[in-house]
């Protein structure tokens, strides 16, 4: 199967693109390693996760200033993660624009379930129809908060 062409949208000096060749992994890794959800993650794991996901890079004048990753089968299910906009670019509606762009992507239409986890951005995601679980008793999980550190130590990252 050949790769789909990049999905690109522009707004002034800002651009969102799904072109994996444009991703600045040094910038993505720098942010994710200081995030609450993946502190200390290795760059190799960041790159491996991106290679197996749909990544949305947010750029200002060609420099990567934001990111979001969607783990998906592109048909029935998607999981949104690793979403950020650098602090210097916040307050301009960029996270909302990023979310609208993700939800508009042709491969993410008609999903049966689109999930995410957040500690502090419930208001943002609620504006895009994300709600608390309707039936939490139906879902189960395995949580290994430091798995990214264990993988690195085992040489898998």
Task: List pLDDT tens digits, range 57-81.
Answer: 999 999 999 999 999 999 999 999 9
Helices 25-32 and 43-51: angle between axes, nearest 10 degrees:
110
Residue 12: strand pairing partners: none
Give me the pLDDT at residue 150, please.
76
- Residues 13-29: pLDDT tens digits? 999 999 999 999 999 99
The reported pTM is 0.91
Give me the pLDDT at residue 151, please.
67
Give me the pLDDT at residue 1, please.
45
**Strand locations in 12-106, DSSP E?**
14-17, 54-60, 63-72, 77-85
Cα separation, 119 vs 97, in Å, equals 20
Of the CATH numbers 3.40.50.2000, 3.30.70.1450, 3.40.630.30, 3.60.150.10, which one belongs to the domain with range 8-153? 3.40.630.30
Q: Identify the segments of the chain with pLDDT beneath 50.
A: 1-2
Domain boundaries, the chain: 8-153
CA proximity to 27, closest of 49, 51, 58 = 58
CB 18 within 8 A of CB 6: yes
What's the token pair of residue 94?
A: 């960029």
SS3 113: strand
């Amino acid at each position: 199967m050949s790769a789909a062409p990049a999905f690109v949208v522009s707004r002034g000096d800002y651009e969102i693109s799904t072109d994996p060749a444009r991703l600045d992994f040094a910038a993505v890794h720098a942010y994710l390693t200081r995030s609450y959800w993946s502190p200390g993650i290795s760059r190799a794991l960041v790159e491996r996760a991106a290679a197996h996901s749909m990544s949305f890079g947010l750029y200002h004048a060609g420099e990567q200033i934001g990111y979001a990753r969607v783990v998906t089968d592109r048909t029935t299910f998607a999981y949104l993660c690793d979403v950020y906009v650098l602090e210097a670019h916040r307050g301009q509606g960029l996270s909302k624009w990023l979310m609208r762009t993700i939800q508009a992507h042709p491969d993410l239409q008609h999903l049966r379930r689109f999930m995410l986890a957040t500690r502090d951005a419930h208001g943002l995601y609620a504006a895009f129809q994300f709600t608390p679980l309707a039936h939490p008793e139906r879902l189960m999980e395995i949580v290994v908060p430091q798995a990214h550190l264990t993988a690195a130590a085992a040489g898998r990252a």
